[in-house]
Amino acid sequence: MSHPNQLETVGVPVAQVGAMARVLGEQPYPCDLAAAGLLHAAVLRSPHAHARIRSISTELAAQQPGVAVVATAADLDGPHTRFGVRVRDQPVLASGVVRHVGEPVAAIAAATPQQALAALAFIQVEYEVLAPVPTIAAALAADAPALFPEASATSLPVYGPGAAACAEPSPNILWEFTLRDPTFDAVWAGAAQVFEDRYSFARASHYHLEPFACLARWSGEGLSIDTCNQDPFLLRQDLARIFALPEHRVRVAAHATGAGFGAKSYCKLEPLAALLARLARRPVRLVSSFDEEMLSVTQHGAEIVVRTALSRDGAPLAREMLIDLDGGAYADASALVADKAGYRGFGPYRWQAVACRVRVVRTTTAPAGSYRGFGGTQTSWAGERQIDSLCRRLALDPIAWRRAHLLRVGEAWWPGEAGMDSDLSGGLAAVVAALDPPAAPHAARPRGVGVAIGLKDGGGEARPANAAVRLTADGTAIVQAGVVEIGQGATTALAQVAAERLGLPLDRVTVAAVDTDLSPHDLGTHASSGMAVTAAAVAAAADDVVAQLRALAGRAEAVVHAGTVEGEPVASLLKRRFGPYGADVIGRATVQAPRSEGLPLRSQRLYWMPSWAAAEVEVDPLTGQVRVLQLVVAGDPGTAVNVLGCIGQVEGAAVQGLGQALFEHLRVDSAGQPLNATPWSYRAPRATDLPPVFRTLILESGLGPGPFGAKGIGESGNLAIPAAIANAIEAATGAALTSLPLTPEAVFRALHVDS
């Protein structure tokens, strides 16, 4: 820090940069972008869950008013054109076979959006309908059709001791990840009590308000994409491979994004827009509808078996998780989610040994990909539900059991892994204490309190980040980094970090939008890495600026503060040293956590992100209706760079968790047809669903790896909510619910049928 006194900008609650423009509707988004000669795209999507494409005729469509070009797989096909993370299996347009309702089959670019949509009706497709595989059970059945008879291009990472993975080990299994402690069998054999339970997690929609949108244009031999994608540099790699271009010929510019929650990660529809633009030789804008978004990428549904071994007095010994994730038709990020679901599956407890097997199962449904929590939400649900159920069976207090067996600060769940960097027991006590005293019990509607602690790691695997900070001749600073602002407040927090290190007021620091031609390389908005990784690079780059200013002033310990160096304005110093026009001072930095070859994923967890939740519910046994009376959720940002932003992140995630607990479920019928994939029929949480008491706690440990002790918090709010609510229902009624969502029908069935 450049100023010797206490922090002036970090830790101050400030409104997000640009918030007013968004609220007033003045902020342009990718769907607002224009260009000379702009064409508008529309996509013909499959009406079938599984079918062979016998023929496609586009002649009539090409003759419709305003139509410039019609594209099919014949215009861009081959192994190098597939995309996906680790497993590249998804075509830009369906080639030969469609594997889910809503899969893009053909696309049109026309002079107006209306003309493009109207012309879709003139594309003639002959399908041979094939047997659907709509569920995990159907996909694993002995007589299930193989959705991918031929192997896809894969990139298998190198794992450390105890971990292994295999791509496409058998029909309809996309990926299998295993993790096993070498002492597991011995510990398990010595257990006095063994329990096995099965849990289901429903597939959910990201339900982000801004649809996917991008604008593609070609210039000479180069491609330019303006998009709302969370990962511009990773997208650039995919586009370069798909179109056989060197990476420097592809430019990706990220624009203001109206949320993503993971749906806008990695490669999505940008290659299709680029294909249309190349065929038409004009710029093309592609904007998805909300309905199309819900058929494009989802969260993973899951079937989870939790096996737990305890000592005679109920102490934890070993836990094994057998997880089947519904990956949908294509890989997307499923392989990564599988690894992380397995690694995060054991919860925040002191197990002597752990093991897991995670399979990603292909089904004829929309691809599942990144979603806030990234596998941690599914495993936290199952693991925390079983803890309460075990305690009930053994007549133990679930809160006391957790307090006795939670990892303490510094303790590791795997030898050599990063120690716990949050006070788990203190957080549990805080959320319980924040509940209001329960009201008098209702004679007809029992009430109960439940808690849960979700856990995920953050920051990625030895993730690198680059940053640059440019101090201009007038004493203002411009930060260049690769984290995309999608509403999470990263731009504001990075500006606060830079301002603190430079000793500048916040209003004299701006953060540039991400552009792969101009911005330093970064893997994008992933893994809640902004405060732990990218912010560390920004802080180091700002420190480089301060060091250069001190060198220019000729004093190694010069105080740099409020736009001055030892009291001399920066502008004056730069003009004195470089002449009347001054100069910029540019600081640069690269940070990366080291590899740890002896660990299963070959790198220590950069930090841990716990999620504490406590809920009080009221249950009507006659209808199964659950009313959440109180909900308290807490997160640990290490050091809160922007307290207001931290509260908003945890509250928003908690509302998502509430939706997953009570309502959200993307359903398909036996033919693989979506039953509620529209914004009107899909039940998402509303403001009226929030409990009367809804509290958010920010518990600062100061132990994060980022600048000032910061770490990520954006995915913590939703991890524990479903289990806390289900645990409260069990406390109230004794009903051991094992499937999400906790609808009135499900609760009624648990109370009156299953019991």
The verdict on 440 and 316 lying in the same domain is yes
Give residue 164's identity as a one-letter amino acid code. Answer: A
* 518 located within any domain: yes
The verdict on 452 and 483 lying in the same domain is no
Tens of pLDDT, residues 205-216? 999 988 899 999
* 685 located within any domain: yes
Task: State residue 5's pLDDT score.
Answer: 45
The verdict on 662 and 544 lying in the same domain is no
Q: What is the pTM of this model?
A: 0.96
> What rounded mean pLDDT belongs to the chain?
94
The verdict on 487 and 529 lying in the same domain is yes
Higher pLDDT, residue 602 or 69: 69
Helix segments in 526-673, DSSP class H? 535-553, 570-578, 643-662
* 393 located within any domain: yes
Share of the chain above pLDDT 90, in %: 80
* 686 located within any domain: yes
| Distance in angstroms (rounded) separating the CA atoms of residues 161 and 37 | 56
Cβ 446 vs Cβ 626: under 8 Å: no
Backbone CA torsion sign across 704, 606, 267, 145: negative
| Distance in angstroms (rounded) separating the CA atoms of residues 213 and 693 | 38
Numbers of helices and strands, H then E, in the chain: 18, 29
Q: What is residue 700's three-state secondary structure?
A: coil
| Distance in angstroms (rounded) separating the CA atoms of residues 311 and 194 | 9
Task: State residue 2's pLDDT score.
Answer: 43
* 85 located within any domain: yes
* 663 located within any domain: yes
The verdict on 437 and 487 lying in the same domain is no
* 172 located within any domain: no
Q: What is residue 490's three-state secondary structure?
A: helix
Consecutive H or E run containing 339: helix 334-343
Cβ 732 vs Cβ 618: under 8 Å: yes
pLDDT above 70 (res 3): no
Domain assignment of residue 513, given as a range: 463-592
Residue with tokens 């299930």: 144
Cβ 135 vs Cβ 667: under 8 Å: no
The verdict on 572 and 475 lying in the same domain is yes
- Please report which confidence band the pLDDT of residue 150 belongs to, taking 50, 70 and 90 as the band edges: confident
CATH number of the structural domain spanning residue 266: 3.90.1170.50
Tens of pLDDT, residues 46-60? 999 999 999 999 999
Q: Specify the number of domains making up the chain.
A: 3
The verdict on 639 and 668 lying in the same domain is yes
Tens of pLDDT, residues 626-638? 999 999 999 999 9
The verdict on 224 and 95 lying in the same domain is yes
- Which tokens in the block code for residue 361? 């199962």
Task: State residue 755's pLDDT score.
Answer: 57
The verdict on 478 and 453 lying in the same domain is no
CA distances from residue 308 to 53, 312, 383, 417, 722 in whole angstroms, order as listed:
47, 13, 9, 22, 20
The verdict on 356 and 426 lying in the same domain is yes
User: Among 234, 263, 294, which residue terminates a domain?
Assistant: 294
The verdict on 364 and 392 lying in the same domain is yes
The verdict on 622 and 560 lying in the same domain is no
User: Among 252, 268, 294, which residue terminates a domain?
Assistant: 294
Tens of pLDDT, residues 706-721? 999 999 999 988 999 9
User: Among 547, 574, 592, which residue terminates a domain?
Assistant: 592
- Please report which confidence band the pLDDT of residue 32 belongs to, taking 50, 70 and 90 as the band edges: very high
Give me the mean pLDDT over the 404-414 stretch. 95
* 162 located within any domain: no
| Distance in angstroms (rounded) separating the CA atoms of residues 394 and 66 | 71
Task: State residue 543's pLDDT score.
Answer: 96
- Please report which confidence band the pLDDT of residue 155 belongs to, taking 50, 70 and 90 as the band edges: confident
| Distance in angstroms (rounded) separating the CA atoms of residues 254 and 213 | 11
CATH number of the structural domain spanning residue 517: 3.30.365.10
Give me the mean pLDDT over the 398-405 stretch. 98
